[in-house]
């Protein structure tokens, strides 16, 4: 109890009010250069000129303005005030500064509201902040990477791409890659490959159950689409999947067996699929695509037409003695209605990244890295979620440090912490195996008396 009381008193030294929201209001009045806006229900926008310096440095490292923004949120760092029943989340837009090997948030939000409207208002406020600063020209991000969250996806689409919804974005991309128009979205939206692969894993595990052969084959087959760089490549792959999943028995001419064999060879030779764990179950929420979305998508209509045409052609003589072990119409339905309608969000068909060796699959690892730093460094000393004002102060110190590193162009090696050297004790004789003993006394001549007689 004494330790907790000391910790509580230490944390509350800089508090301006016992009430958490009033404490936040008072702090915002004194720190307008960082706390951009505060309002109810609990919402805080955090933008600063120092964070713009990080963006400028990122721009200076590229010749074509190719900047990737990573968006995500975590609910395990900020304490929920007593009057707030909802969980408080910390949102961050992070950029990766490669030459310094650091990640830094360039705009942040703390809020108890997690819908698309709240996220969109935050994005719109940041755009206004950039325009008013007159230091950068909007838009500054070429790509935005996020998880499979429709709140994020719709907010980015409506606020930054100025479109009604994600289906409009998908259809514009379809028209662009099929040369029906030269119009393209200002900001390219991408899903984190690792997160999307977890969704695929969960879906296939549910459909295939205990059939390990099907699970492994379909996971690797769908994962191969991540690296497809054109629509014809995906069409060729999809035609094979229609044939494999729609025929219950093998055919007499051996066509289906040949298709399966060639696909196995392709998957086995692909290095991009080595990191897929076939048996891992994940806790990722099952995000279903609404019927209205996939039906509006031109990608869905495109592949649905191919599917219907190919099914009509599957009339070859069957070999009823040999069952097709990969027959599974539910997998085909999953691919057609859930993954292909949003194909440009997770594959490389848009934009064509064949010439960009530096980027193959988009990942949200930078923002996850930032959240890891927050949890392991900032919250390590407290071991608990902080009240909003205390968390803001702690994050502000780290952001200032990173922005100065960029503004002053400090070399990454100068900021690195020197690793502790481990002393090897294998060859050092510590005398641990020697036995304890007493030294023998040297005998001396005994004197008969203290005073000796003199002659």
Q: Looking at the structure, tell me whether residues 119 and 221 fall in a common domain.
A: no
Q: Is the pLDDT assigned to residue 49 strictly greater than 70?
A: yes
Of 297, 314, 346, the one marking the end of a domain is 346
Q: Looking at the structure, tell me whether residues 85 and 116 fall in a common domain.
A: yes
Give the mean pLDDT of 219-237.
93
Calculate the alpha carbon distances from 216 to 37, 235, 239, 250, 426 in Å: 49, 22, 19, 20, 47
Residue 431 belongs to a domain: no
Residue 2 belongs to a domain: no
**pLDDT score recorded for residue 100:** 75
> Nearest Cα to 241, choosing from 295, 292, 204?
204
pLDDT tens-place string over residues 75-128: 888 888 887 788 999 999 999 988 778 899 999 999 999 899 999 999 999 999
| 227 token code pair | 């690296």
Q: Looking at the structure, tell me whether residues 218 and 126 fall in a common domain.
A: no
Calculate the alpha carbon distances from 220 to 207, 273, 276 in Å: 15, 7, 8
| 171 token code pair | 């259809």
Calculate the alpha carbon distances from 211 to 200, 240, 422 in Å: 16, 20, 49
Q: Looking at the structure, tell me whether residues 296 and 204 fall in a common domain.
A: yes
Q: Looking at the structure, tell me whether residues 381 and 251 fall in a common domain.
A: no
Lowest-pLDDT choice from 100-104, 173-177, 335-339, 424-428: 424-428
Q: Looking at the structure, tell me whether residues 342 and 379 fall in a common domain.
A: no
Q: Looking at the structure, tell me whether residues 319 and 371 fall in a common domain.
A: no
Lowest-pLDDT choice from 210-219, 227-236, 387-396, 444-453: 444-453
Lowest-pLDDT choice from 32-41, 130-139, 187-196, 345-354: 345-354
pLDDT tens-place string over residues 186-202: 999 999 999 999 999 99
Tell me the C-alpha distance between 177 and 352, whole Å.
Answer: 9
Query: pLDDT confidence of 269, banded at 50, 70, 90?
Result: low
Of 179-183, 301-305, 437-441, highest mean pLDDT: 301-305
* SS3 (DSSP) at 136: coil
Q: What are phi and psi of 111, to 5 degrees?
A: -155, 160
Q: Domain limits at 304?
A: 194-346
> Nearest Cα to 40, choosing from 16, 14, 19?
19
> Please, what is the Cα angle at 348 between 347 and 352, to 5 degrees?
160
Residue 355 belongs to a domain: no
Of 374, 390, 410, the one marking the end of a domain is 410
Helical H segments across 224-342, by residue range: 231-246, 255-268, 291-296, 298-313, 329-334
**pLDDT score recorded for residue 386:** 84
Q: Look at the chain and report how many structural domains it folds into.
A: 2
> Please, what is the Cα angle at 364 between 359 and 367, to 5 degrees?
125
Q: What are phi and psi of 253, to 5 degrees?
A: -80, -5
**pLDDT score recorded for residue 377:** 80
Tell me the C-alpha distance between 164 and 223, whole Å.
Answer: 30
Q: What are phi and psi of 382, to 5 degrees?
A: -95, -35
| 379 token code pair | 């919250």
Lowest-pLDDT choice from 267-281, 290-304, 372-386, 389-403: 267-281
Residue 153 belongs to a domain: no
Residue 454 belongs to a domain: no
Q: Looking at the structure, tell me whether residues 340 and 383 fall in a common domain.
A: no
CB-CB contact of 300 with 337 (8 Å): yes
**pLDDT score recorded for residue 259:** 86
Q: Looking at the structure, tell me whether residues 342 and 266 fall in a common domain.
A: yes
Of 318, 346, 374, the one marking the end of a domain is 346
Residue 298 belongs to a domain: yes
Residue 87 belongs to a domain: yes
Lowest-pLDDT choice from 14-23, 139-148, 151-160, 349-358: 349-358
Q: Looking at the structure, tell me whether residues 117 and 34 fall in a common domain.
A: yes
- In which element (H, E) is residue 38 found? strand 35-39
The string of DSSP letters for 361-406 reads S---HHHHHHHHHIIIIITTTT-SPBPHHHHHHHHHHHHHHHHHHH
pLDDT tens-place string over residues 304-323: 999 999 888 776 666 667 88
Q: Is the pLDDT assigned to residue 27 strictly greater than 50?
A: yes
Give the mean pLDDT of 393-403.
90
Q: Looking at the structure, tell me whether residues 41 and 101 fall in a common domain.
A: yes
Which residues contact residue 374 at a Cβ distance below 8 angstroms, ignoring those fewer than 6 apart?
74, 77, 90, 395, 398
> Nearest Cα to 337, choosing from 286, 293, 305?
293
pTM of the complete model: 0.82
CA 196 to chain centre: 10
Residue 88 belongs to a domain: yes
Q: Looking at the structure, tell me whether residues 200 and 325 fall in a common domain.
A: yes
Q: Is the pLDDT assigned to residue 237 strictly greater than 90?
A: yes
Tell me the C-alpha distance between 130 and 123, whole Å.
Answer: 11
């Amino acid at each position: 109890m004494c330790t907790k009381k000391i910790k509580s008193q230490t944390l509350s030294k800089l508090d301006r009010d016992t009430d958490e929201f009033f404490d936040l209001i008072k702090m915002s009045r004194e720190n307008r250069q960082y706390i951009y806006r505060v309002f109810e229900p609990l919402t805080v926008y955090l933008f600063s000129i120092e964070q713009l310096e990080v963006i400028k440095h990122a721009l200076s490292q590229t010749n074509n303005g190719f900047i990737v923004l990573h968006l995500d949120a975590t609910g395990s760092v900020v304490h929920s005030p007593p009057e707030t029943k909802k969980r408080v989340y910390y949102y961050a837009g992070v950029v990766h500064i490669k030459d310094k090997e650091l990640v830094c948030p360039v705009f942040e939000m703390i809020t108890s509201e997690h819908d698309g409207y709240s996220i969109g208002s935050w994005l719109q406020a940041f755009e206004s902040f950039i325009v008013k600063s007159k230091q950068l020209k909007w838009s500054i991000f070429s790509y935005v990477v996020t998880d499979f969250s429709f709140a994020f996806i719709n907010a980015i689409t409506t606020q930054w791409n100025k479109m009604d919804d994600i289906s409009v974005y998908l259809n514009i991309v379809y028209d662009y890659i099929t040369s029906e128009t030269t119009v393209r979205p200002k900001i390219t939206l991408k899903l984190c490959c690792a997160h999307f692969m977890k969704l695929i894993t969960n879906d296939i595990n549910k459909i295939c159950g205990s059939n390990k052969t099907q699970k492994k084959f379909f996971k690797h087959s769908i994962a191969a689409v991540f690296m497809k760089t054109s629509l014809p490549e995906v069409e060729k792959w999809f035609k094979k999947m229609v044939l494999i999943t729609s025929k219950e028995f093998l055919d007499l001419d051996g066509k289906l067996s040949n298709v399966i064999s060639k696909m196995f060879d392709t998957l086995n030779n692909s290095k991009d699929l080595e990191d897929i764990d076939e048996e891992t179950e994940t806790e990722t929420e099952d995000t279903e695509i609404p019927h209205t979305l996939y039906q509006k998508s031109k990608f869905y209509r495109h592949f649905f037409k191919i599917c219907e045409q190919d099914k009509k052609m599957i009339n070859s003589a069957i070999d009823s003695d040999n069952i097709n072990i990969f027959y599974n119409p539910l997998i085909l339905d999953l691919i057609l209605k859930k993954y292909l309608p949003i194909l440009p969000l997770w594959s490389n068909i848009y934009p064509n990244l064949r010439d960009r060796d530096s980027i193959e699959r988009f990942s949200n690892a930078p923002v996850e890295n930032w959240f890891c730093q927050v949890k392991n460094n900032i919250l390590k000393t407290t071991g608990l979620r902080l009240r909003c004002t205390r968390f803001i102060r702690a994050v502000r110190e780290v952001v200032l440090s990173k922005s100065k590193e960029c503004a002053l162009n400090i070399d990454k090696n100068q900021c690195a912490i020197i690793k502790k050297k481990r002393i090897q004790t294998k060859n050092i004789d510590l005398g641990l195996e020697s036995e304890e003993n007493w030294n023998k006394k040297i005998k001396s001549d005994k004197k008969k008396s203290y005073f000796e007689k003199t002659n």
